[in-house]
Amino acid sequence: MSEMDRARFEELMDSYVLGALTEEERLEFEEHLASYPERQSEVDELSATAGLLALYPEEREPPEDLRGRIMHVVEAESPERPQQAERRTVFGRLGELLSARSLALGAAALLVVGLFSWNMVLRSDVQELQSRVQEMQVSRDARMITLEGPGLEQGAHVELIVAGDDRAILMAENMPPVPEGKTCMIWVIDDAVPKPGGLFDPKPEAVAAVVEEPLGGADAVAITVEPEGGSPQPTTDPMLSAEL
């Protein structure tokens, strides 16, 4: 938009502050405003009048859980969040542990369980996890993979710790709540075929779960929301996933 005369500016201004311009007109108007910043105060004044309409609707109390959902994300993103450092410590220590060549397997298993039982909520009980961890071959090939996807926007942080023999533990934190009757399901995807890898309950606290399907040769790991008890095939799009 090159030039907009005063009459055109005034003609569009009312619709602009009400949000009623077409996209083209809005761009035209804002381009003009950028060129004539002295007219901004006029627009602000009329916007204040139009903004009064926001106070017109009948008052409604927002649902209590809406605050919790929003603050869950906000606190996860806040740089002041105290548990952030703690989480890194746990993940970091576990990563070091799994790559520690000199560590005896039994001691490693105990340490893993010690870390988890310290402040984590386990899908299964600690003893079960301990026995599964003891089966895992701990070597310098162990690696940590961060899952990505839409779940990140809700503050979820999920890492997969893959041991040398392609068995893995999934650690999830700040998982968004799922509807009643639903749970999170892990999938190991091999040649585009998703294989069930276990279930875990999403919680704001840290959750650990052993991936029940070996990862050998698999292409990716994904998490979907499924009915309690799991599904034979994914029924929703992955909220988080990682290529292996």
Partner 1 sequence: MANKGRQYLLYADEDLMSLVEGGDAGAFAALYDRHSRAAYSLAYRMMGEKQAAEDLVQDAMLKIWRGAGSYRAERGSVRTWILSIVHNRGIDQLRSLASRRRTQEKVEAEAPRSQPSEAFAESWRNSQREQVRAAMRTLPPEQLKILELAYFSGYTHVEIADMLDLPLGTVKGRMRLGLQKIRAFFDSRDLAVPQ
State yes or no: residue 39 binds partner 1 (CB under 8 A): no
19: contact with partner 1 by CB under 8 A? yes
- DSSP code of residue 28: H
Which residues within the stretch 78-97 sit at the binding site for partner 1 (CB under 8 A)? Answer: 78-81
State the helix-helix crossing angle for 6-18 and 23-35, rounded to 10 degrees.
120
Window 41 to 80, contacts with partner 1 (CB under 8 A): 44, 46-63, 66-67, 69-71, 73-75, 77-80
Is 135 in a helix, a strand, or coil?
A: helix
Task: Determine, following the binding rule CB under 8 A, whether residue 150 of this chain makes contact with partner 1.
Answer: no
Comparing CB distances to partner 1, the nearer of 82 and 181 is 82
- H or E stretch at 183: strand 182-190
How many residues form the binding site for partner 1 (CB under 8 A)?
Answer: 41
Task: Indicate which single residue of 14, 31, 86, 141 sits in contact with partner 1 (rule: CB under 8 A).
Answer: 14
Give the span between the Cα atoms of 223 and 240, in whole angstroms.
Answer: 5
Terminal-to-terminal C-alpha distance of the chain: 50
Half-sphere exposure of 55 toward its Cβ, with a 13 Å CA cutoff?
Answer: 5
- Closer CB to partner 1, residue 79 or residue 229? 79
Q: How far is the CB of 195 from partner 1 (least distance, A)?
A: 33
Cα(151)–Cα(133) distance, integer angstroms: 27
Interface residue list for partner 1 (CB under 8 A): 11, 14-15, 17-22, 44, 46-63, 66-67, 69-71, 73-75, 77-81
